Amino acid sequence: MTQIGHEAGIILKSPRELAQMREASWVAAVVLEEVAQKVRPGVTTAELDDVAVNEVRKRGAVASFKGYRGFPASICTSVNEEVVHGIPGNRVLKEGDIISLDFGAQLNGFHGDAAMTMGVGRIGSEAQKIIDAARGALEAGIAAARIGARLGDVSAAIQSHAEARGFSVVREYVGHGIGRQLHEDPQVPNFGIAGEGPVLQKGMTMALEPMLNAGVWRTRVAEDKWTVITVDGKLSAHFEHTIAIDDNGPEILTKLQGFPEGVI
């Protein structure tokens, strides 16, 4: 039975629904990991998409993004100044690039969504700093996602972690509720005011996804009508986990522990 939260539009998941969603999320995480292991100088982003296609199929799941609003690939590959929604193609990764990989899987009628940014070979210290800050911002947001807290507490935790390290937070793209739909209520901004917004309840499931820029927060969409890039051409990094709000604190659904290979 699907339950509607007392905050309008937010769908709470039952334990049974969460169990199904945990499997979908695990597939998203494991496919992302398989793709990440193939990242190296000389590889094209289209080759990374091929890996995602094969790995998700092996597990009987479907790539959430393929065809979503017309997106032409299974994974988003966003390099350097590209923020999100990069389309895999013939671009060859080179030493010193950073690449953001974003992958969603649908299984059991539910979606899981995860992203990470990593270096291609050896990277510079500034590149490493923005990657670490984006990962840390996600961790700070997750830590704030507790029953009784407000959504603004999560947003503010992400924003303050990023800005304290000298990075800006993208405004035009945000995290989201997730479940039977890839994007459900509520929107989860990576900026905001603690104490504001909906109260977090047991059974809420959300994809938190801070996008940090090395320069200004403003972005624009490239000529391919998908790829989001920083307006100043400086680096951007992106991390994402699908989480569930539970009694004992937030559960990260898109992590690799818990479902050894072969269970699904």
Interacting residue ranges for Mg ion, rule: CB under 5 A: 113, 207
> How far is Cα of residue 117 from the mean position of the Cα atoms in its chain?
10
CB of 207 to Mg ion, least distance (A): 4
Minimum CB separation of residue 115 from Mg ion in Å reads 7
**Partners of 262 in the beta sheet?**
none
CB-nearer residue toward Mg ion: 113 or 251: 113
CB count within 10 Å of CB 246 equals 16
Report in angstroms how near the CB of residue 112 gets to Mg ion at its nearest.
10
Can you tell me which residue has the tokens 């590209």?
A: 82
Give the shortest CB-254-to-Mg ion separation in angstroms. 10
Element (H, E) at 77: strand 76-79
Q: d(Cα 20, Cα 24) in Å, to the nearest integer? A: 7
Residue placing its CB nearer to Mg ion in the complex, 97 or 113:
113
Distances (CA, A) of 216 to 96, 212, 235: 22, 9, 10
Q: Are 100 and 80 in contact (CB under 8 A)?
A: no
Where do we find the tokens 């499931």?
205
Residue closer to Mg ion, measured from CB, 217 or 239: 239
- 114 or 200, CB closer to Mg ion? 114
SS3 label, residue 113: strand
Residue 82 vs 113, nearer CB to Mg ion: 113
- C-alpha–C-alpha distance, residues 176 and 68, integer Å: 15
Give the shortest CB-260-to-Mg ion separation in angstroms: 26
Please give the Cα distance from 117 to 233 (Å, whole number).
17
Q: Which of 80/100 has CB closer to Mg ion?
A: 100
Least distance between Mg ion and beta carbon 132 (Å): 21
